[in-house]
Every structure is written in C-alpha cells, then in structure tokens.
Amino acid sequence: MDSQTKPEPMRVLVTGGSGLVGKAIEHVVKQEGGCLEGEQWNFLCSKEANLVDLQQTRAVFEKYRPTHVIHLAAKVGGLYLHMKENLHFLRDNLRINDNVLQTSHERGVTKVVSCLSSCIFPDKTTYPIDESMIHNGPPHDSNFGYSHAKRMIDIQNRGYFVQHGRRYTAVIPTNVYGPYDNFNCENGHVLSALMHKTYAAKKEGTPLQVWGSGTPRRQFIYSLDVARLFLWVLREYDEIDPIILSVGEEEELPIKDAVEMIADALDFKGQIVFDTSKSDGQMKKTASNAKLRRYLPDFTFTPLSEGIKKTCDWFVNNYDIART
C-alpha cells in the first residue's frame, strides 16, 4: 500500500515506565490487547537514562526513535521531603520536562502525552476544579516547586503548538493507587501507605495508627483505569489543553471510608486509631470529570472497594518486590 495512506505503526516510548502508572500502562498494552499490530512499546526506567541530563535524554531517543511519547517520569518524594527541598524538585522537574519535550520536538515526535498532578491546582479555589482553572492562583505551599514545574508542561505544550504546530498535550489524574505503587509508610501515597500500615498492624497484633482525622475527602482512581484512559488520550484525544482523568465528584469520599475498605480487604479486625495531632493536609480537592464524560460518557471506573482489594492482594503476594 502507498505509505501516504497507511500511517506507520506507532513506536511509543514511555518515560517513568517502572512506576505506578507506567506499570499499569504496560499491563494494559501487554495483557489487555492495548498494543495494535506492528506497534513497538518501550518502557524506560531511570536506570536506563537520567532524563535530568540532556545528553542521556537524546541518546535514549536516538536508541528507540519514538513516534509517540508518554511522559510519566518525574522527581517525586513524600510531603515532608518536598517541603524541605522545593528548589531541588523545581529544578530537576523543569529539566526533565524540557529535555523530553524539546528532544521530542527536535526528533519530530508526532504526539506527547505528559502526566500532570492534581497538586498543581490553585490552593485557594472554588470547587469543583476544572481544566480551565490550573493557573488561577498559586498552588499549595508544601510542594510549590514540583507543582510549578508540572504547570510549566501545560505552558510549554501551548508553545510547541503555537510556534510549531505540535500536538503535545497532558492529562491530570486525581489520586492514583494500584499495584507497583510506593507502599512506604512514611512517604507513599495515602492508600498505599495505609495498606502497608494495616498489613503490619495485623501481623504484629497492634492497633492501626492513621495519621490525621480521616475526614479529608479524595477522589481515588485505580491505576489500570488511568492506563486505559491514557491509551485513549494517545490515540483519540486531539486537544492541546489538558484533560482531568478522574471518577465523578460524587465518588469523592473521606479517607476514613477508604481505611475501612482496606481493613476489610486485609481482614484486619483490630482497633483503628486516628492520630489527630498529625496534619490533615487539604480537606478536599474536588475535581470535575465533565470534560472526560463529554468524550467518554460510558467509561466504567473500577469501584474503589474492588480496586483496593486487588491492590491489597497484589501487595501481600508481592511483598518482597513491592516498594516499601
């Protein structure tokens, strides 16, 4: 067939391929038929290339010659590390993002889908938050460095489109959880840290100590749902403006409800103690998924109790390899 009429199969490079979302995308691509005939998918981990370094970034693009990029790589840490080293997170993430986007542009990559974070939203805002409100005020003080670096991806995407016609875009997932997350009790994501704490409390026969009051509300999204949506964005979503990937506003629930689901999933029958001397963080960050629903009215999200059960089972069965 004439090469004009038949586009060549995608060669996709996934940066941050060994993290929570990267592993979920790998699962969908390899186990759920997410890879179409002729496509090549390469999942990059930080051991293979340090993307803070421009030469290493260029070398890895030279090696895999991607036509499409899913950009997940970022320098991240727990809340307290971010508070201590905001400048460090700002500079490293600005470098990583600029290296990936500019190298993609120089090499003629057709599309880049980057991953932003719900922490980029303004701290003082009205709810629900939507895609048009990202730059309406400063982010929360605790991780301003990381948040501003992530916001700049949106600005840069706009620049590559206006100046070069590039279709580089971004997604904003809410609180993602699932297998291969960081389950560290001190600086893991909230659900994963709670799973590890509950597992340990059950094993030791001690009460489960939950930091904070359990009243802050969050929208949780299972990593495999995020991965399925990422593939849709890569193949179908044509806007430069970002899109929020989240369950609906009505699915936002208090942390204490999730704690009970985790206790059920791990069959923990002990006492649950909420340590109110610990900070609660933001009480809510309600995000609107109206834009996603306009595109995909029928997408079914994994119910939280089911996703928590699957993640707890994975954690117990893979305790030796889990990041703890």
**DSSP string over 202-270:** HHHT--EEEES-S--EE-EEEHHHHHHHHHHHHHT---SS-EEE---GGG-EEHHHHHHHHHHHTT--S
Active-site position among 80, 146, 199, 222? 146
Note if 146 is an active site residue: yes
Q: What is the DSSP letter of 165?
A: -
| Token pair in block for residue 183 | 């389950």
Instruction: Quote the CA–CA distance of 73 and 50 in Å, as a whole number.
Output: 10
Burial 281-309 (b: 16+ CB within 10 A, else e): eeeebbbbbebbeeeeeeeebbebeebbb
Indicate the residue type of 266: L
Among 199, 218, 190, 216, which residue's Cα sits nearest to residue 316? Answer: 199
Indicate the residue type of 297: P
Q: What is the DSSP letter of 37?
A: T
| Token pair in block for residue 285 | 């960050």
C-alpha 83, offset from chain centre: 20
- The catalytic site residues sit at 146
